[in-house]
A and B are shown apart, each in its own frame.
Chain A
């Protein structure tokens, strides 16, 4: 990699190790004191314009080498190179601290708060070190992702959360945790003057399910495929694909070509249904229910098709490490072609209807603007980034599955408003249809699943996919006996959601639901991490501890 020499010249001795993990992944181990300098060096590198912070992983490596570690994963996008760089530093077990990157790059905000919550690794100089992931009533100094914490524990603390003080002269307008415009719980605390939004605070992570902890504690590689797919109810397949790719890279498993094509087709079908779903929701939020109904009617064709192809409308469950579980029969290929034909004609009409509905366009235009500079600072991805002029797409910049063989465009708009995001998604639907058509034509024959035996332990690797909402990054550190030692899933919304307060400021509470929805947020994706948090009234009567024990016992039986 050409920039490594430059890096060595700049930081010299303090770079401890550089090693290549996969064909496009490098891991650079540095001294913990210069960690933030190296990260910022890459993020602000003048030649890598679309470099972004893809994920950050904190690991409790005390059982292995008596230390904690953090890795910042950066992706180099755009026309630069197909490169992922991990920058790793080891932190002493008795005093795990490192210098925060957030003051230099906003996008690191959530990541650093998360390692602080879950592992007790402290980012020094973080501007907003409040709790992010753990529930309000979780006791302090209990860190669930440390290896000495058992996954069935559920300690009880006092309920408290330090919300920001409202700015002077404003009142609090809470959107959520339950609100008709939010499909999942999230809490946006708007500070408003009349209808104008002055500022916004966010509290989320209400739907933790402990997926990472469970994966590390009691599942095998193949079982994780299925729980990874359940990270999201809408774009689950890209999660399981990203996970599989990570494990396949770690185990150097050669995936049969036919499986790659089947994955590609399913990924694009998933994108079709997800974008149509989003269009419907956007219409509904502006009161345009006709658009809503028609978008979802078209989506239904895709759902039916997926049911025929995989047995499920959603959560297809066909991914395994090494390939896929189900083959496409020939007559089902024709079904795909039929659905695409129907979609092509009816989707064109729907788009015409939408763009000719003046009131709808008026609500979307010039609303929720996220300028390019902010988009870069927050490291936003997917249609949100592309609507703000960030020209990157994992499918094109880091080809996976069969995307390297296929031809497609990546739409980019500069306006950065809700309308630009809508247009990006509309164009992506056309591209998806085109991608599926090509993949069907070129679908090779042969096997669909590669066998694998032992995967060497303690290899670190990431798998990435372009979900309908943006970049998904799954980090896997393999462990002994075909289990994972550390698993970290990062959904697209994790990078997009922190930027929402910046998009809301200056607009009105009438725009708020549409702006929030315009990033196509997926809260359960973002909030996959922790232990079960039970808060409903019923449970209180049962006593939480008992309930937790009961539910864990019940799930063990499965």
Chain B
């Protein structure tokens, strides 16, 4: 019982408090690449703190506008809670793999609600882009996780990484998953829906104060959830051969490795972001469609048992 509480505490800390730090590190890495000093790695905490303390200015009376950030926050949180932290999975049941995809889509739906609830051509354009982007990338994510599920004969996110066996299609599935996670995370060149210089951050354009803070925090948590999924799929299959994950120390060691890999991956992403320009929505969709078709081929290979 005691062990569970420890894990639960760590998990809560990771989900709520780690994302702003990761963002701060990413900002620092980019600053270094750009020969800048850059802000402190805690800057994102300060930003969130000041936003959350500010009264928002409401451009509309609609309830949808006010609750959209909370829906987004809840969805991102729900997605994160389905993932394995060491040996500990906060919420686990068979088929939670579908729930994961659903709640991620929910996040985008919240963005769309936010964008369409005000009469502003910038937010509407942003909501439109979010919709197109999500429609083109969710299938890729589905296919990628599907290949893993097929391989592991499991539909639970906690179970998949512990049961996979090494096949050629699995490597391709990792590539697909990495791509889908990157795109869905909205990193440059895929920050199309929130493009600042084009459409003034799209759906977030009319938000301010606490509501904006909630949205930003939710986005960071969503990124963490996506990356944590990838990290778990990468780390857990290796760790289970080295150490007994189910024990307390084994679980803690696995969690530590997950964290380290997460930091490394986040830094690599910062480097990719720093060396790219933003794509246009039609270019991104064309690319996603191509990847999706490739994904179907991978799924076919996996179905054949390779």
Could you list some 17 contacts between A and B, CB below 8 A?
A180-B197, A192-B121, A283-B277, A285-B197, A286-B278, A287-B191, A288-B277, A290-B274, A293-B36, A297-B35, A357-B276, A359-B189, A359-B276, A359-B277, A508-B280, A509-B125, A510-B199
Residues of B36-55 whose CB lies within 8 A of A: 36
CA distance in complex: A293, B274 (Å): 11
> A194 at the A/B interface (Cβ < 8 Å)?
yes
The answer to whether B277 touches A363, judged by C-beta atoms less than 8 angstroms apart, is yes
B115: min CB distance to chain A, Å: 14
Residues of A380-419 whose CB lies within 8 A of B: none
The answer to whether A289 touches B35, judged by C-beta atoms less than 8 angstroms apart, is no
- Chain A residues, CB < 8 A from B283: 362
> A294 at the A/B interface (Cβ < 8 Å)?
yes
- Chain B residues, CB < 8 A from A147: none
Give A214-247 as 1s and 0s: 1 = Cβ < 8 Å from B's Cβ atoms: 0000000000000000000000000000000000
The answer to whether B277 touches A287, judged by C-beta atoms less than 8 angstroms apart, is yes
Residues of B187-237 whose CB lies within 8 A of A: 188-189, 191-192, 195-200
A512: min CB distance to chain B, Å: 8
Task: Please give me the 3 A-B residue pairs with the lowest Cβ-Cβ distance, nearest first.
Answer: A287-B278, A293-B34, A288-B277
> B30 at the A/B interface (Cβ < 8 Å)?
yes
CA distance in complex: A7, B281 (Å): 55
B196: min CB distance to chain A, Å: 6
- Chain A residues, CB < 8 A from B276: 287-288, 357, 359-360
- Chain B residues, CB < 8 A from A360: 276-277
CA distance in complex: A480, B192 (Å): 60
- Chain B residues, CB < 8 A from A349: none
**Nearest CB to that of A284 among chain B residues?**
B197
> B33 at the A/B interface (Cβ < 8 Å)?
yes
Residues of A284-318 whose CB lies within 8 A of B: 284-291, 293-294, 297
> A334 at the A/B interface (Cβ < 8 Å)?
no
Residues of A329-367 whose CB lies within 8 A of B: 353, 357, 359-360, 362-363
CA distance in complex: A284, B275 (Å): 12
A299: min CB distance to chain B, Å: 13
B193: min CB distance to chain A, Å: 11
> A172 at the A/B interface (Cβ < 8 Å)?
yes
- Chain B residues, CB < 8 A from A112: none
- Supposing A174-B121, A192-B121, A194-B128 touch, asked if A286 and B277 sit within 8 A by C-beta, the answer is yes
- Chain B residues, CB < 8 A from A510: 192, 195, 198-199, 280-281
The answer to whether B281 touches A195, judged by C-beta atoms less than 8 angstroms apart, is yes
- Chain A residues, CB < 8 A from B278: 286-288, 359, 363
- Chain B residues, CB < 8 A from A286: 197, 277-278
Q: A173-B122, A357-B276, A363-B277 are in contact. List 11 more A-B contacts (CB 8 A).
A: A285-B197, A286-B277, A287-B189, A288-B278, A290-B30, A290-B275, A294-B35, A359-B276, A359-B277, A362-B283, A509-B125
The answer to whether A363 touches B279, judged by C-beta atoms less than 8 angstroms apart, is yes
> A428 at the A/B interface (Cβ < 8 Å)?
no
Interface residues of A, Cβ cutoff 8 Å to B: 171-174, 179-181, 192, 194-195, 283-291, 293-294, 297, 353, 357, 359-360, 362-363, 508-513
**Nearest CB to that of A195 among chain B residues?**
B125
- Supposing A293-B34, A362-B283 touch, asked if A180 and B277 sit within 8 A by C-beta, the answer is no
B205: min CB distance to chain A, Å: 11
**Nearest CB to that of B200 among chain A residues?**
A180
B121 contact from A172, A287, A353, A362, Cβ within 8 A = A172
A181: min CB distance to chain B, Å: 5
CA distance in complex: A357, B192 (Å): 17
**Nearest CB to that of B283 among chain A residues?**
A362
The answer to whether A363 touches B280, judged by C-beta atoms less than 8 angstroms apart, is yes
CA distance in complex: A194, B281 (Å): 12
B299: min CB distance to chain A, Å: 28
- Chain B residues, CB < 8 A from A509: 125, 198-199
- Chain B residues, CB < 8 A from A181: 197-198
**Nearest CB to that of B121 among chain A residues?**
A173
The answer to whether A357 touches B121, judged by C-beta atoms less than 8 angstroms apart, is no
B277 contact from A174, A179, A192, A357, Cβ within 8 A = A357
- Chain A residues, CB < 8 A from B192: 510
Give B238-281 as 1s and 0s: 1 = Cβ < 8 Å from A's Cβ atoms: 00000000000000000000000000000000000011111111
- Chain B residues, CB < 8 A from A287: 188-189, 191, 195, 197, 276-278
A140: min CB distance to chain B, Å: 32
**Nearest CB to that of A509 among chain B residues?**
B125
Most chain A beta-carbon neighbours within 10 Å: one of B35, B192, B198, B200 = B198
- Chain B residues, CB < 8 A from A511: 280
CA distance in complex: A233, B280 (Å): 32
Most chain A beta-carbon neighbours within 10 Å: one of B121, B189, B198, B277 = B277
- Chain B residues, CB < 8 A from A290: 30, 33-34, 274-275
CA distance in complex: A194, B127 (Å): 11
Most chain A beta-carbon neighbours within 10 Å: one of B34, B197, B274, B282 = B197
CA distance in complex: A294, B199 (Å): 24
